[in-house]
Chain A
Amino acid sequence: MAKLTKNDLHSLKAKYAASEKNWIKVGFSTCGIAAGAQKVYDVLCDEARKNNAEIEIKKCGCVGMCSAEPLVEVNVKGLPRVFYGKVDRETAIEIMEKHVCGNLLVNDRIYDVKVN
């Protein structure tokens, strides 16, 4: 990329902030990786492909709930934003099949709800 100027910063901000796609974020700090975030991330990517789900799967840092890692935040339009905690293979599959594709939140796995 070329050297940025102040105006570029503003246009970049506008460009990247506009996206309104559904997304999933997986916590990829030391706490998350140690708890198995990579495996969860791989399973989510596989399942998204299998289900033809239109969703962006991203990596992020630690949100602070280290005891509940691996942590997966899911934002699907029309549903509350939630954090799934202690996610394993089974939960990751459920998240993709039920939450992302079926618009149904998964019971007993949510550790926090984003309240605006």
Chain B
Amino acid sequence: MAKTVFIKDTAITGKDRTRDFYGLFLGVLREKGLDTTIQLVRLADMGIYSAGIAVRVLPDNHLYTQVGESDIAGIVESIKTGQPYQPRLTKQASTQMRIVLRNCGVIDPEKIEDYIAHDGYHALARCLTELTPEQVIQEMKTSGLRGRGGAGFPTGMKWEFTRKSAGDQRYIICNGDEGDPGAYMDRSVLEGDPHSVIEGMAIGGYAIGASKGFFYIRAEYPLAIERIEKAIKQCHDNGLLGSNILGSQFSFDVEIRLGAGAFVCGEETALLASIEGKRGYPSPRPPFPSVKGLWGKPTCINNVETLANIPVILFKGGEWFSKIGTETSKGTKVFAVTGKVKRSGLVEVPMGTTIEDIVYGISGGAMSGKSVKAIQTGGPSGGVIPKDYFQTRVDYESLQKMGSIMGSGGMIVMDEDDCMIDIAKFYLGFCVDESCGKCAPCRIGGTQMLRLLEKISEGRGVPKDLEQLAMISRAMQKASLCGLGQTAPNPVLSTLNYYRAEYDAHVNDKKCPACKCSKLLSFLIRQDKCVKCGMCFKACPVGAISGNREKGYVIDQEKCIRCGQCFEVCKPAAVLRQ
């Protein structure tokens, strides 16, 4: 392969110097007569950030960072010899590891041949011909895989409980009712690699002794549903679902059920009710679904990501899988990194990776050069983790210790412009909307807490409100019927814990430090800084700004809706926001 050199200025702020450096580098190559044999390419993104000018040489795979003009000659020389140029040589620190997403973006999800070519259904074949169901369960226990839906219950144990429960019929269910705001890992797996989930379910069915499986997918994922439907049909055509799979004695089939848009139906018992055709109400546990589930039969419910792990575990062995990750959390986790981050998308990292590596190393830190304030994991059931704790290693226990949860894998990045009361209000509002209303703690508690938060963000809060928030939170955690209500106060509790000062500022000083809560803001034009350009006048959507280019402009506080448009457009920063 001919040598290729990639160049990118990885600084987040300031002028992009990629083009200038490209010119310099090309000059040196021309001087040495190498410009025809070595290809020089400017990148739009290199996957590393805040490391000055970065240069990558392929196929040697040498990466250089903080490269200066004086280094060019040395690097060019090293390209000729194939030996690395030591002074600027760097190893890429944070790398992803793909187990769940192994085929996403690699295979054509609508072609079963593509999946088989990438070791697809080989694990199922191994289970059916070489292993007994007990051995499959043992392999899962060895792997240490824990449920990726959020709670982290060991999958092998769940399978064993279901297998050991008495019943003439058992079921396995794939929970694809992904509802956390900002989370879409499951959708991507269902869309990008549907066969891996089907194979995981078939293996699960074999292990627990189920002949029937259900996909529960939310109706908002039409493409995922379409691809799963196609995949199921292909499996039927090829004898990978139906009777006597791969010529064995094992028969298994799956059906799809659609979720009608209720967040609570992601909860096990509500999901079961929904599949049975009843209203999606949760019911008290025990009895657990593994004992008495769908239509009263033993049922195992696994998350999409959990199921996508299973073919790999049984192909490469539980032993192999258990070597990845931390002491208590094995394997990898997929995160949907969204919010105010430079490179939003899906990230799969081994358990035990630090939050810093995910947010800065892989996702490039905050967009537009602002500083990251915190992340929120676990959606409305989780909590915030402030920047000061970004050294935390991601696993089930450590996130719980931080007052958040692993959750299904949503990771929302917030910057200095985000107000924590506003965040808490958003998540609580979500849970209040999605509360099914069956139990009082969740129905009434959630609404009361939301009212208190609204009161605080509008500047009508009193110190006693904060105590009351904490009190209702504890009551909801203890007395709610299902996970939704029990975890709904988490965002409030975690923001109260880490950002008490922000709450105090709202309550005592009637100020919003992040300048987000509009009722506590006022905008003013500083006449000494104003250049009378009229930008604010044009930007104001309600005509609250009056004046002209000779006299200057003023904001009518009565008319102002505090949208902040004038603040955003003002180049000389003459609009004061306080």
Contact = CB atoms under 8 A, between A and B. Distances in A.
Interface residues of B, number: 60
Contact of A63 (B104, B224, B240): B104
Contact of B4 (A5, A68, A80): A80
Interface in A6-40: 6, 9-10, 12-13, 15-17, 25, 27-31, 33
B104 A64 contact: yes
A27 B113 CA distance: 18
B105 A105 contact: no
Interface of A: 1-6, 9-10, 12-13, 15-17, 25, 27-31, 33, 58-68, 71, 73, 78-80, 85-86, 104-113, 115-116
Nearest to B234: A1
Given A104-B39, A111-B43, A63 B113 contact: no
Given A63-B105, A68-B45, A105-B4, A9 B125 contact: yes
B44 A85 contact: yes
A109 B44 contact: yes
B318 to A, nearest CB: 21
B191 A29 contact: yes
B59 interface: yes
B187 A30 contact: yes
B41 A78 contact: no
Contacts, number: 154
A5 B109 contact: no
Nearest to B8: A110
Contact of B346 (A12, A64, A115): A64
Given A105-B41, A112-B47, A115-B61, A61 B105 contact: yes
13 contacts: A1-B237, A2-B239, A13-B119, A30-B191, A61-B106, A61-B109, A63-B106, A64-B188, A68-B45, A85-B45, A109-B44, A113-B43, A115-B58
Contacts of B184: 30
B413 to A, nearest CB: 12
A61 B239 contact: no
Given A9-B122, A79-B1, A107 B345 contact: no
Contact of A33 (B113, B116, B223, B247): B223
A109 B342 CA distance: 16
Contact of A16 (B1, B110, B114): B114
Nearest to A67: B344
A60 B240 contact: no
B314 to A, nearest CB: 14
B217 to A, nearest CB: 13
Nearest to A11: B116
B116 A9 contact: yes
A4 B246 contact: yes
Contacts of A17: 117
A12 B58 contact: no
B192 A61 contact: yes
A31 B239 CA distance: 32
Interface in B207-250: 221, 223-224, 237-240, 246-247
Contacts of B61: 115-116
The 5 closest A-B pairs by CB, nearest first: A61-B192, A3-B239, A63-B105, A16-B117, A64-B346
Contact of B44 (A16, A28, A108): A108
A86 B116 CA distance: 31
B56 interface: yes
Contacts of B246: 4-6, 9
Contact of B107 (A27, A60, A106): A60
B6 A13 contact: no
Interface in B179-209: 184, 187-188, 191-193
A61 B193 contact: yes
B187 A64 contact: no
Nearest to A63: B105
B223 A64 contact: no
A10 B122 CA distance: 8
Interface string B336-353: 000000111111100000
Interface in B40-67: 41-47, 56, 58-59, 61
B223 A110 contact: no
B108 A58 contact: yes
B485 to A, nearest CB: 31
Contacts of A5: 246-247
B6 A9 contact: no
A12 B116 contact: yes
A88 B546 CA distance: 42
B344 A4 contact: no
A64 B109 contact: no
B332 to A, nearest CB: 13
Contacts of B406: none
